[in-house]
Amino acid sequence: MCELLGMSANTPTDICFSFSGLMQRGGRTGPHRDGWGIAFYDGPGVREFRDPYPSCDSEIAKLVRNYPIKSEIVISHIRQANAGRVCLENTHPFIRELWGRNWTFAHNGQLKGIKKQPLTHYLPIGTTDSEHAFCWLMDAIRERFPKPPRRASTLHRFIQKQCDELRKMGVFNMLLTDSRHLYCYCSTKLSWITRKAPFDQACLKDAELTVDFEKETTQTDIVTVVATEPLTTNEQWNRMAVGELIVFHKGEVA
């Protein structure tokens, strides 16, 4: 299985600390050696890095870890291949355009029979079941909403329904964003934590690294981190329920 990492914040924030833990799972403390990727949103624009090599040894991953790119929404993924060969085009996250927005998607799991589902507007570039599922989901959203719905909750409910359908095909843990909201869907395991004042220290599980968030933040900062498995040892993470969709906006539950 792959692993996911996402962030939603109310102010541009770097993800260096959390990514430092995740990248170790990409071949050192975990078996996810088949590529990694990360997308940072800067307003409607996206700064994206992907590499088909293990993140623990990747020079690009080291750049991301050491360079504090600040963003309000981030999606990252480390891959353990089970469908589709190891190559750049099969490396998550995947990006498509709808309503003049960049949508980004990353998936953990396998979906039996997904490639039998017809596609209309969006086509995969690679050969993974994940990218096909993303194209199918984007097709469904575009067909139902040619224009953005007036109420965000209407879109949230529709995405929940489509995710429930995908979960029937297998394991579907997902992170999705439209540049404004971070959608997190749990099929088997996904956890999240919201950090806000009063801030404290956090210690990574997968690297000898501790950060004092009180020194790195302001009293108004709100930052939520979502991961397949909790990344720290001294914090209380919230485990999502099977079939649950949580939507975050600027670090808080929408």
- Active-site positions read 2
Task: Round to whole Å and give the CA distance between 184 and 128.
Answer: 20
HSE (CB half, 13 Å, CA atoms) of 68?
A: 5
Give the pairing of strands 245-249 and 238-239. Answer: unpaired
- Residue 119, SS3? coil
Provide Rg for the chain, Cα atoms: 17
| 55 and 61 Cβ atoms separated by less than 8 Å | yes
Q: How many residues does the chain have?
A: 254
Contacts of 62 (CB under 8 A, 6+ apart): none
Return the closest-CA partner of residue 72 out of 49, 99, 93, 44.
44
Angle in degrees, 0-180, between the axes of helices 59-66 and 16-25, rounded to the nearest 10: 150
- The SS3 call for residue 174 is strand
